[in-house]
């Protein structure tokens, strides 16, 4: 009996179809991609195909069947690695990988515990197309290839590939106008142009970013400075200088979201000390305060705090632009007689801090080598927060005063594991182990904050200090919305997801006596101007996109790094306009005037970073420099 021979390009067809269908299945099962209509579903289904036709079609240039098959196997591994890398990354960050992140290998060792928690044995599925092609090569009898495909055949094939790509782009543009020129939302890009095309587009964007600095001449700053000066609110006269000459202690509350404050989990109080702090006579607490970080997470929050600029859209500024010139809050305080310091019980190179802190003109960085970690005091990211607070205050006693010391906590970090002796409350009982453990580490962080206050009082530093604390970014991503629905007792909508980006912001001034809850809507971009005004330091000529939160002239308009925003009346999220109070979908007209403004702010900030434009600016006079200023120390 004769074996049936399959057409000579059957392996190529099998490889394309297997990877195409696998990619679509991954879209639907591994990523939270919102689909609103049949057209979006169709675009999602076809968008991997054009790039796969192009990549796999290069096999047509091979004459040898063995070489062709070897190439197809390699390409299935390459595409599988791209897809799986994004899946593992998405499980933690709820976002897709960008090119600069692939070169941020300094962080990989510290990320191993989070990465390990995001890998499962079932992940072998992501390489299923490689196995299918391997089996096809071994068991399917095909016609022998004795020559390359003819030029006519190849031309027809690649014309078809290009036509499909333009068809896909046409549908995407119809569904999302100006997709490639306006979108900072990587989910939107993947949904419309596909995972593989997205990464090609990312290479283009990152290359363009690097070229921008080389071509910048400072003229771009004219438009930026005009915008900033026309939108900047006058700082509050009433609050100006009320903490003048005090020590400034800024605490980054790792992964702490506002929803845990003044709340209970199964009858257990989650943050008892901070709950009391929100009502303290010396504390001003902001419950409507949002993080504005991107993929740089904690490092992004530091960047925003120091500069009142937005972070970059697809990478961590701490890595990609650590050689830029900045006008940081640390530099400003240093010019006013402050000793500036950061304390973080982790390795100094994590997030490239040892280099970036030089650019921010921070006098001293006390990393893990500055702390004594005794038995039982280590956590997978470094040192536990309670002993960290104790030793950090001890370091402060040795600092020249007044000082600015920034403390970075880390115990409340994914995957949120604690030793038994550090668990002050029990776990939650949802189907998400991540959320279940989160409440315990948040409770531990609360205990660490209490320890900080007690140590400052014991060491005589409390009365002459101002203590500012803020949540740096979310701890629970959208991947855990089902579990969050159980905790909140409601379905999670894009409006709710936006509201879950609230992080606590405390301003504690011992002896102030007029503490209150300030309902002003704000974000991390507002921290620098707010703090500097409290310290009595003028920043009239500084280029900053935030406003003093105490200003009576301030407009409530807070922009997220991905283009979502909050106004005094509306929330813009998921492409819809929601009523801020009710959470119901509202008239789009309420959001439309702010959409372009949000993108304008993000674009201006991105231009400053990409072009290193502050090297052309004199912050003392507000004038443009005709000659390039020296770059920041590298």
Active site positions, annotated? 298
Burial 393-404 (b: 16+ CB within 10 A, else e): bebbeebeebbb
Query: Angle between the 128-139 and 65-93 helix axes, to the nearest 10 degrees?
Result: 160
Report the alpha-carbon distance of residue 578 to residue 535 in Å, rounded.
Answer: 37
CA distance 427 to 433: 9
Q: Which residues contact 222 (CB under 8 A, 6 or more apart)?
A: 624
Which three-class secondary structure state does DSSP give residue 597?
helix
Alpha-helical runs (H) found in 109-219: 112-116, 128-139, 151-175, 179-182, 186-193, 195-215
- Token representation of residue 413: 């970090």
Q: Taking the CB of residue 564, how many other CB atoms lie within 10 A of it? A: 22
Find all residues with CB under 8 Å of 29, minimum gap 6, and list them. none
Question: How far is residue 91 CA from its own chain's centroid?
Answer: 14
Q: Let me know if 480 is exposed, middle or buried by CB neighbors in 10 A (0-12, 13-18, 19+).
A: buried
Helix/strand number for the chain, H first, E second: 23, 20
Alpha-carbon distance of 231 to 543, in angstroms, equals 11
Query: Residue 355, Cβ neighbours under 10 Å: how many?
Result: 18
Taking the CA atoms of 366, 372, 375 and 377 in sequence, report the sign of the dihedral they define: negative
Taking only Cα atoms into account, the Rg of the chain, rounded to an integer number of angstroms, comes to 27
């Amino acid at each position: 009996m004769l074996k049936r021979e399959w057409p000579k390009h059957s392996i190529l067809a099998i490889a394309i179809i297997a990877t195409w269908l696998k990619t679509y299945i991954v879209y639907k099962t591994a990523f939270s991609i919102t689909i609103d209509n049949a057209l979006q579903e169709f675009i999602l289904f076809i968008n991997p195909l054009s790039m796969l036709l192009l990549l796999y079609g290069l096999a047509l240039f091979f004459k040898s069947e063995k070489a062709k098959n070897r190439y197809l196997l390699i390409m299935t591994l390459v595409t599988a690695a791209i897809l799986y890398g994004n899946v593992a990354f998405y499980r933690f960050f709820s976002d897709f990988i960008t090119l600069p992140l692939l070169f941020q290998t300094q962080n990989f060792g510290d990320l191993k515990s989070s990465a390990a928690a995001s890998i499962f044995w079932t992940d072998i599925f992501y390489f299923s197309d490689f196995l299918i092609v391997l089996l096809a090569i071994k068991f399917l009898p095909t016609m022998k290839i004795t020559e390359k495909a003819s030029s006519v055949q190849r031309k027809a094939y690649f014309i078809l590939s290009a036509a499909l790509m333009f068809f896909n782009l046409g549908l995407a543009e119809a569904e999302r106008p100006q997709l490639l020129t306006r979108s900072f939302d990587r989910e939107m890009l993947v949904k419309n142009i596909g995972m593989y095309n997205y990464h090609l587009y990312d290479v283009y964007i990152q290359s363009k970013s690097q070229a921008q600095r080389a071509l910048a001449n400072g003229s771009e700053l004219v438009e930026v400075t005009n915008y900033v000066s026309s939108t900047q609110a006058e700082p509050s006269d009433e609050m100006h200088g009320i903490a003048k000459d005090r020590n400034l202690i800024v605490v980054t509350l790792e992964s702490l979201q506002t929803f845990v404050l003044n709340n209970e989990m199964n009858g257990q109080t989650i943050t008892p000390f901070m709950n009391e702090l929100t009502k303290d006579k010396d504390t001003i607490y902001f419950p409507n305060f949002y993080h504005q970080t991107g993929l740089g997470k904690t490092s992004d929050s530091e960047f925003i705090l120091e500069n009142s600029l937005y972070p970059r859209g697809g990478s961590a500024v701490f890595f990609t632009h650590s050689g830029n010139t900045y006008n940081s809050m640390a530099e400003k305080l240093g010019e006013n007689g402050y000793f500036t310091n950061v304390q973080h019980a982790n390795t100094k190179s994590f997030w490239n801090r040892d280099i970036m802190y030089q650019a921010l003109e921070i006098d001293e960085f006390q990393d893990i080598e500055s702390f004594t970690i005794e038995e039982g005091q280590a956590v997978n990211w470094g040192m536990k927060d309670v002993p960290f607070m104790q030793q950090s205050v001890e370091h402060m006693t040795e600092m020249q005063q007044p000082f600015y010391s920034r403390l970075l906590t880390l115990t409340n970090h994914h995957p949120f594991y604690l030793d038994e002796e550090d668990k002050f409350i029990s776990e939650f009982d949802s189907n998400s182990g991540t959320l279940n453990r989160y409440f315990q580490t948040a409770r531990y962080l609360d205990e660490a904050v209490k320890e900080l206050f007690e140590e400052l009082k014991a060491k005589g530093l409390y009365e002459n200090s101002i203590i500012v604390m803020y949540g740096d970014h979310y701890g629970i991503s959208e991947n855990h919305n089902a579990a969050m629905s159980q905790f909140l007792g409601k379905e999670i909508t894009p409006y709710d997801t936006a509201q879950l980006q609230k992080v606590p912001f405390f301003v504690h001034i011992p002896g102030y006596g007029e503490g209150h809850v300030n309902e002003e809507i704000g974000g991390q971009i507002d921290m620098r101007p707010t703090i500097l005004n409290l310290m009595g330091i003028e920043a009239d000529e500084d280029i900053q996109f935030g406003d003093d939160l105490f200003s009576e002239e301030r407009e409530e308009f807070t922009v997220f790094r991905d283009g979502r925003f909050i106004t005094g009346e509306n929330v813009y999220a998921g492409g819809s306009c929601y009523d801020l109070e009710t959470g119901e979908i509202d008239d789009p007209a309420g959001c439309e005037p702010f959409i372009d403004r949000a993108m304008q702010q993000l674009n201006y900030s991105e231009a400053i970073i990409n072009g290193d434009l502050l090297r052309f600016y004199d912050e003392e006079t507000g004038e443009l420099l005709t000659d390039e200023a020296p770059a920041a120390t590298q």
